[in-house]
Amino acid sequence: MEIVMTESPAEAAECVAKEILNALKAKPSLVLGLATGSTPIEVYERLRAAQAAGEADFSQVRTFNLDEYLDLPAGHAQSYRTFMEVHLFEGLGIPPEQIHFPPSEGKNLIQRCQDYEDAIVAAGGIDIQLLGMGRNGHIGFNEPTSSIRSRTRIKTLMERTLRDNARFYAEGEEQPTLASTMGIGTILDARRILLQAYGLKKANAVRACVEGPVSSFFPASALQLHPNTTCFFDPEAGQYLAMTDYYRATRANKQALADSGRM
């Protein structure tokens, strides 16, 4: 796990977007695992800007989203399908059949969750998985106690997650308590993982993710087991980390080796 301490979320978004765009140039049929929420929005803005400027071509890209609320129709303002359409897919040129979400409506959900896993495998696996992290350590909607080997399935959302997301719903509007989500095992199958976390409210979660024990009670800690994960934190999110100076030195040395052509 590589830790990148940035001066701001904007700086981190620039790093993440650049990595995705470089990967896209190397592999036009890139398979992306995508996240929702406020954290990745600045990354998505940069990807859309690159497409608009003719600097990127997403027409062969295939996408798989982490999660979706159960029983919210695709056009609902709070559905993640709507979020992705507004913040990324509009104007990006990805054919609809190349965009995938875990099942969220209708019957046979268990089988359709397995079908989602099969679709990821059929696409050749996820090349780059974007992640945010909840204050209780959830990644996707893998709440505490989720198995590290879990696959795409239906999860009950914890009270803290519901409270954190309640601000997106109008007063009196019913908030879903169930969601479909990639499992932790599904996430760990990605070849590359890019995690972002910003702000003081994420500082305790960041410390537990990076420097705490690997535990199903803190799902994001499972990322310590992945061989190619980079975490991007701003000063507020990283302020409780014990080894910040070491992380900065490691990053600087890696860059120096790359600049000298030795990597």
Pairing type for strands 128-131 and 192-197 reads parallel
Short-list 25, 6, 1, CA closest to 193: 1
Rounded Cα gap, residues 255 and 249, in angstroms: 10
Specify the length of the chain in residues: 263
**CA distance linking residue 197 with residue 136, whole number of Å:** 13
E-only strand ranges, 102-226? 128-131, 153-156, 178-181, 192-197
Directed axis angle between helix 9-26 and helix 41-52, to 10°?
Answer: 50
The contacts of residue 246 (CB under 8 Å, 6+ apart) are none
Residues with a known catalytic role = 67, 136, 138, 143
